[in-house]
Amino acid sequence: MAVVMKGIDVVNAMKEKMVREVEELKQKGINPCLAIVRVGSKPDDLSYERGAIKRCEGIGITCRVFEYDQEISQQELVKEIKNINDDKEIHGILLFRPLPKHLNEDEIKYLVSPEKDMDCMNPINAAKVFAGDSSGFAPCTPEAVIEVLDHNKIPIEGSRVVIIGRSMVVGKPLSMLLLKRNATITICHTKTKNLEETCRNADILIAAAGKARMVTGAFVSEGQVVIDVGINVDAAGNLCGDVDYDEVSKIAGYVTPVPGGVGTVTTSVLAKHVIRAASKG
Residue 18 is assigned to a structural domain of this protein = no
Q: Taking Cα atoms as reference points, which of 266, 195, 271 lies closest to residue 25?
A: 271
pLDDT of residue 275: 98
Q: Is residue 2 part of a domain?
A: no
80 found inside a domain: yes
Other beta carbons within 10 angstroms of residue 159's beta carbon come to 18
Note the pLDDT tens digit of each residue in 78-130.
999 999 999 999 999 999 999 999 999 999 999 999 999 999 999 999 999 99
Instruction: Please count the CA atoms within 13 angstroms of the CA of 2 that sit on its side-chain side.
Output: 26
Q: Does any domain span residue 7?
A: no
The answer on 244 and 170 residing in a single domain is yes
Tens digit of each residue's pLDDT (9 = 90 or more) over 237-277: 889 999 999 999 999 999 999 999 999 999 999 999 999 99
**Mean pLDDT on 46-51:** 96
Nearest one of 45, 21, 42 to 31, comparing CA atoms: 21
Domain count, the chain: 2
Euclidean distance between CA atoms 146 and 150, whole angstroms = 6
CA 30 from centre of chain: 26
Instruction: Report pLDDT for 107.
Output: 95
Residues 146, 109 share a domain: no
Find the mean pLDDT for residues 13-33: 98
- Domain hosting 107: range is 29-114
- Do residues 149 and 259 both lie within one domain? yes
> Does position 281 have pLDDT exceeding 80, yes or no?
no
For the stretch 146-165, pLDDT in tens is: 999 999 999 999 999 999 99
* Percent of residues, the chain, with pLDDT higher than 90: 97
Residue 35: CATH number of its domain: 3.40.50.10860
The answer to whether residue 100 is domain-embedded is yes
Tens of pLDDT, residues 191-243: 999 999 999 999 999 999 999 999 999 999 999 999 999 999 888 888 999 99
Specify whether 86 is located in the same domain as 145. Answer: no
Residues 110 and 148 both lie in one domain: no
Give the pLDDT band (50/70/90) at residue 174.
very high
pLDDT in tens, 28-45: 999 999 999 999 999 999
Q: Is the same domain home to 53 and 109?
A: yes
CB 1 within 8 A of CB 250: yes
190 confidence band (pLDDT: 50, 70, 90): confident
